[in-house]
Amino acid sequence: MTSGVIGSQSSLSDYHQEMHDDAMRLKDNMLLARGEGLTYQEIAELFDVSRQRVHQILTGYRSPATHASLHDPIRKAKRKRTVKQVVLAHYGNGKVACVKCGFSDIRALSIDHINGDGWKDRAKSNGNTFHRGGSGMYYYLRRNSYPEGYQTLCMNCQFIKRETRQEYRRY
C-alpha cells in the first residue's frame, strides 16, 4: 500500500468489521439472555438500551428509511464508484491510472489479470457474480485483501496486451 487513501480504506474496513463483530456479540448475548427467560425489558436494562432496541436487534428489524437508503440507486452507484476507485488505486500503485501508459480517465480503466488467466477464474466461478465482471469483481478483490496477480490497465493497453500475448477468451 503506497497511498494514504488506501491505508485509510483498509483501516476503515477493519473498523467496520470490528463494529460488525461487536454487534454480533451483543446479539448473541441478548439471545442467550432471552433463552434464560428474561423479558425484553430485563434485557434492555441489562445492556443499557431501550426495550425497542432489544426487539430490533433480536428480530433483525430495519426501519423503512434504512431499507430504502440501502437500495437507493444514487447511493448504490456512489458506493460502487468508491469501491472501484479504491481497488484501481491499489492495483495502480497508489494512483487511479493505467500502470502502462498513465491514462487516468476512470471510465476506461479496469482490472487486468497480469498472467492473462482470467478464464481460470471464470471457469471455477459457478456463476458467481464476481466472475462476470463489473462491480462484483471490485468487491471481491477488496473483500479478499487485494490478492496478487492483478493490475490496473486502460482498455487500450488491455486490448494491446491481449493481442500481443494472444490472450483470447477461453470459456
pLDDT digits (tens, 9 = 90+) for 22-71: 888 888 899 999 888 999 999 999 999 999 999 988 888 877 776 677 67
**Could you give phi then psi for residue 37, rounded to 5 degrees?**
95, 10
Task: Give the number of other CB atoms < 10 A from CB of residue 30.
Answer: 21
51 lies in some domain: yes
Helix pair angle (73-91, 135-143), 10° resolution: 60
What are the distances in angstroms from CA 64 to CA 38, 70, 74, 75? 28, 10, 17, 16
Contact 96, 88 (CB under 8 A): yes
Ramachandran class of 70: left when φ > 0, alpha when ψ lies in -120 to 50, beta otherwise: alpha
Give yes or no: residues 31 and 81 share one domain: no
171 lies in some domain: no
Number of domains in the chain: 2
Boundary of a domain, candidates 37, 61, 85: 61
Looking up cell 464508484 gives 81
Give yes or no: residues 139 and 108 share one domain: yes
Boundary of a domain, candidates 61, 89, 106: 61
67 lies in some domain: no
102 lies in some domain: yes
Boundary of a domain, candidates 61, 93, 109: 61
Give yes or no: residues 25 and 88 share one domain: no
**What pTM, to 2 d.p., does this model score?**
0.58
170 lies in some domain: no
Q: Please give the pLDDT value at position 4.
A: 42
Please, what is the Cα angle at 120 between 117 and 125, to 5 degrees?
Answer: 135
- CA 92 to CA 101: how far, in whole Å? 11
pLDDT tier at 7, thresholds 50, 70, 90: very low
- CA 131 to CA 140: how far, in whole Å? 9
146 lies in some domain: yes
pLDDT digits (tens, 9 = 90+) for 124-137: 655 555 555 678 88
What range does the domain containing 31 cover?
4-61
pLDDT digits (tens, 9 = 90+) for 84-143: 999 999 999 999 999 999 999 999 999 999 988 776 766 665 555 555 567 888 888 888
